[in-house]
Amino acid sequence: MERLSTHSRVTRDFPPDARYLIGVSGGRDSVALLDWLISLGYERLIVCHLNHQLRGRSSDADAQFVKRLVERYNQELATLRLPGARTGKRSARHATAGRIGFELGSANIRALGKKQKMSVETAAREARYAFFAETARRRNCRTIFVAHHADDLVETFLINLFRGAGSAGLAAMREISTRRIDGIDLTTARPFLCVWRKEIDDYVGEHGLRFREDATNKNLTPLRNRIRHRIVPYLEKTLGRNIRQNIWRTAMIAADEEKWIDSELRDSPHADLSVVKLRALPIALQRRALLKWLRAQNVSNVGFDAIERVRSLADRDARIAKVNLPGNRHARRRAGKIFIE
């Protein structure tokens, strides 16, 4: 954790004196991230917590825990600003800190997933980022810190690999990425992406941090939990203990390559797409251009099948002019253009 203070790209690109959002669920990872950023002097954080309404009173207790956590940090910071306050190693770094904000949202994730025909996990992710984007709009802040770490990156890589993802999916996560959500260009920063879960556990123990334990993390029904508790340990036992590091390295290489490919494709300022220009691209770039365009049109949960359906509209022999997309939306071809409806 100490090396992150001086070597993290996030801490270099996002100076402590600016305003930032931070997603805090109440679990150990996000609690550790909040504490670590405060220790570095990030004074204007706005803690964002979305109640997913999935675990009844436990979900409500999570929200109350995060609210009290913010209050406790604000009390500590206020005390450290008083004349004559004691200045230890951590308090000296806190001495000029400001007040931490708090934003609480709520969403019925099960109802949303059923309505949008999504898994609970996908619906929860979509709801969180919609909440983050709305908070970013109201607070006039376009960057959010989240606590994804190296083990999360490995698990996401494997999930996408098993689902048949291309290179964009194998990139899994990036240390810094920008996504357009409901008209807001929200930048997500992941300072812990090179930190392993064991290192976060050590940090939490060293600083005596309290956090909320989510019992559903042990439920083997969600794919991510099966990969975490069964698949990765099996791979380590069978292929060697360095398998996590090797997968992590592959994902980071893929992310760098994806960043370069994205930079080679211009953002389309239009809501429709030229069939002629799409046909002129190699197939690999057609898929990438469509992925970028669909995301810009706020089409959620875009996968290979959806991209191929839209790509088929540009086929010279195509007999159809309309295809289905996730979220009960459609892509249509008319007069040499492809557009969303």
Residue 43's pLDDT is 82
Cα 190 from chain centre: 8
Average pLDDT over residues 196-210: 94
Average pLDDT over residues 161-178: 84
Whether the per-residue pLDDT at 189 is higher than 70: the answer is yes
Whether the per-residue pLDDT at 63 is higher than 50: the answer is yes
Q: What percentage of the chain carries pLDDT values higher than 90?
A: 50
How confident is residue 156, by pLDDT bands cut at 50, 70 and 90? Answer: very high
Amino acid at 58: S
How confident is residue 157, by pLDDT bands cut at 50, 70 and 90? Answer: very high
CA distances from 273 to 71, 182, 184, 331, 334 (A): 49, 20, 21, 10, 10
Whether the per-residue pLDDT at 154 is higher than 50: the answer is yes
Rounded to whole angstroms, the Cα distance separating 184 from 306 reads 23
Inter-residue contact 275 to 337 (CB < 8 Å): yes
**CA dihedral of 211, 212, 215, 217, whole degrees rounded to 10:** -60
Residue ranges of alpha helices (H) inside the chain are 2-7, 9-13, 28-39, 57-80, 89-94, 109-116, 120-139, 150-162, 167-170, 197-207, 223-226, 232-239, 243-264, 275-279, 283-296, 304-312
pLDDT tens digits along 100-149: 999 999 999 999 888 888 888 888 999 999 999 999 999 999 999 999 99
Rounded to whole angstroms, the Cα distance separating 306 from 312 reads 10
pTM above 0.75, yes or no: yes
Q: Write the burial class of residue 167 (CB in 10 Å: 0-12 exposed, 13-18 middle, 19+ buried).
A: middle
Which tokens hold the place of 253? 């290489």
CA distances from 75 to 20, 37, 72, 85, 208 (A): 20, 17, 5, 13, 18
Angle between helix 232-239 and helix 243-264 axes, rounded to 10 deg: 110
In this structure, is the dihedral angle defined by the CA atoms of residues 34, 38, 42 and 44, taken in order, positive or negative?
positive
pLDDT tens digits along 224-252: 899 999 999 999 999 977 899 999 999 99
pLDDT tens digits along 312-335: 999 888 888 999 888 788 999 998
Sheet-wide strand order for 44-51:
101-106, 44-51, 19-23, 143-145, 184-189, 176-181
7-21, 195-209, 224-238, 255-269: which has the minimum mean pLDDT? Answer: 255-269
Rounded to whole angstroms, the Cα distance separating 211 from 129 reads 22
How confident is residue 95, by pLDDT bands cut at 50, 70 and 90? Answer: very low
Residue 270's pLDDT is 67
Whether the per-residue pLDDT at 47 is higher than 70: the answer is yes
Beta 337-340 vs 272-274: how paired, if at all? antiparallel
Residue 306's pLDDT is 87
Average pLDDT over residues 41-67: 93
